[in-house]
């Protein structure tokens, strides 16, 4: 069976039995984040833009500040390096909207492919994601324009579709099979038809920003020299909020912090392509010192470079960068203008 129907209360019981830490969205669509469900707490019963917190879940496995190693210099000049621990409690994210669920595909492709980033890899291996179909889109949402949908299970290990007091649960990967087996025992199976019928209820209208994903990369490549980049970025104050709150942005800096003359630690800290010094070189040359060049980089990384390298956009249409930008810069409008809207 790859899909089952269970009472919602059974999911609560099965998750409690695993002993895993459960993180759920908190903040009801406003300032908030993913927080630990307290013992006996109720799992979210619905999902939508109204339940999506301002802070995405990436910080769980990609913290904004993480120790990579510590070092001690010996009296003879030898260096003792202490590796950092990249572990965390076994964790399940429950009730992530499809836009946040899909963020893990983008993060995995950037941080696990070719050369895995150890801090991310260590924790990602201990994280399971249970996505939930979205029943309410917001005015900043545009998941349907980036190859996703309110029913998309991309990035999920299990996907749940609330149906009254029940949940239709779809097994998407084997990562949460320990939980799946508990849920599956004695549960009613759901065939493809039943799954599609419930899935079909999750059709909130996502119509604010519509562009054609297939043609976007080529159109943006042609628009590299467009004068519109200056207009698009005119108001930007380079605060970086759009990238820090983005579920897929993952730029970082490495800093060595001395504790005393002989010891210290190396930190990996979030950084942003929107800070003027981000591309500053030791020669004092800075290839992206203008705001428009930095904004162009943000847009092209998400809609041209990452898709060419990994086959999917590095934007999930969550709308956070639009909603929380202090000067109302709208990435979707920029993309529609440069990439052609439908
Ligand atoms: S949030 Fe807005 S003002 Fe701040 S860096 Fe991003 S686009 Fe610029
Ligand atoms: S670029 Fe904006 S809309 Fe796209 S995933 Fe990041 S925050 Fe969400």
For 214-235, write each residue's pLDDT tens digit: 788 999 999 999 999 999 999 9
| Residues forming a β-bridge with 159 | 131, 170
Interval 299-341: pLDDT, tens? 999 999 999 999 999 999 999 999 999 999 999 999 989 876 5
Cβ 238 under 6 angstroms from ligand 1: yes
Tell me what pLDDT residue 235 has.
96
Determine which helix (DSSP H) or strand (DSSP E) holds 45, and give its type and residue range.
none
Which of the four pLDDT bands, split at 50, 70 and 90, describes residue 26? Answer: very high
Which of the four pLDDT bands, split at 50, 70 and 90, describes residue 204? Answer: confident
> What CA–CA distance (Å, rounded) separates 193 from 276?
53
- The average pLDDT across 268-273 equals 96
Tell me what pLDDT residue 321 has.
97
> What CA–CA distance (Å, rounded) separates 251 from 272?
6
Cβ 246 under 6 angstroms from ligand 1: no
Cβ 274 under 6 angstroms from ligand 1: yes
In the reported structure, the alpha carbon of residue 184 is separated from the centroid of ligand 1 by a whole-number distance in angstroms of 46
Cβ 335 under 6 angstroms from ligand 1: no
Give, using CA atoms, the residue closest to atom 3 of ligand 1: 236
Q: Quick one: what percent of the chain has pLDDT higher than 90? A: 79
Supply angle C-alpha 14, 20, 25, rounded to 5. Answer: 90
Inter-residue contact 211 to 339 (CB < 8 Å): yes
Inter-residue contact 161 to 230 (CB < 8 Å): no
For ligand 1, pick from 329, 333, 334, 335 the residue to mutate: most ligand atoms within 8 Å of CB: 329
Q: Quick one: what percent of the chain has pLDDT higher than 70? A: 98
- What is the position in ligand 1's atom list of the atom closest to the CA of 243? 6
- What is the position in ligand 1's atom list of the atom closest to the CA of 328? 2
SS3 148: coil
**Structure tokens, 322:** 């639009």
> What CA–CA distance (Å, rounded) separates 14 from 253?
40
Q: Are strands 21-26 and 91-96 parallel, antiparallel or unpaired?
A: parallel
Cβ 240 under 6 angstroms from ligand 1: yes
Torsion angles phi and psi, residue 287, rounded to 5: -70, -15
> What CA–CA distance (Å, rounded) separates 154 from 246?
17
């Amino acid at each position: 069976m790859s899909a089952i129907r269970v009472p919602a209360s059974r999911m609560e019981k099965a998750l409690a039995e695993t002993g895993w830490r459960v993180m759920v969205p908190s903040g009801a669509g406003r300032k908030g984040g993913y927080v630990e469900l307290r013992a006996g707490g109720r799992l979210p019963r619905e999902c939508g833009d109204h339940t999506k917190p301002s802070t995405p879940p990436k910080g769980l496995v990609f913290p904004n500040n993480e120790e990579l190693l510590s070092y001690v210099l010996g009296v003879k000049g030898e260096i003792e390096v202490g590796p950092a621990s990249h572990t965390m409690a076994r964790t399940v994210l429950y009730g992530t909207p499809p836009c946040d669920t899909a963020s893990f595909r983008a993060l995995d492709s950037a941080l696990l492919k070719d050369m895995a980033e150890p801090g991310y890899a260590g924790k990602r291996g201990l994280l399971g994601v249970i996505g939930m179909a979205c029943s309410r889109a917001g005015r900043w949402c545009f998941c349907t324009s980036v190859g996703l949908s309110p029913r998309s299970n991309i990035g999920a290990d299990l996907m749940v579709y609330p149906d009254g007091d029940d949940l239709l649960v779809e097994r998407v990967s084997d990562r949460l099979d320990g939980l799946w087996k508990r849920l599956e025992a004695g549960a009613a199976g759901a065939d493809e038809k039943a799954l599609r019928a419930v899935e079909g209820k999750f059709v909130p209208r996502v119509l604010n920003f519509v562009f054609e994903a297939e043609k976007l990369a080529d159109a943006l490549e042609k628009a590299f020299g467009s004068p519109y980049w200056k207009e698009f970025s005119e108001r930007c104050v380079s605060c970086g909020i759009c990238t820090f709150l983005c579920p897929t942005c993952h730029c970082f800096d490495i800093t060595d912090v001395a504790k005393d003359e002989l010891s210290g630690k190396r930190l990996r800290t979030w950084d942003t392509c929107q800070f003027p010094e981000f591309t500053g070189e030791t020669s004092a040359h800075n290839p992206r010192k203008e705001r428009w060049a930095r904004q162009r980089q943000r847009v092209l990384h998400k809609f041209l470079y990452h898709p060419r390298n990994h086959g999917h956009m590095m934007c999930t249409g969550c709308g956070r960068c639009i909603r929380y930008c202090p000067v109302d810069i709208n990435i979707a409008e920029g993309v529609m203008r440069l990439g052609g809207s439908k």
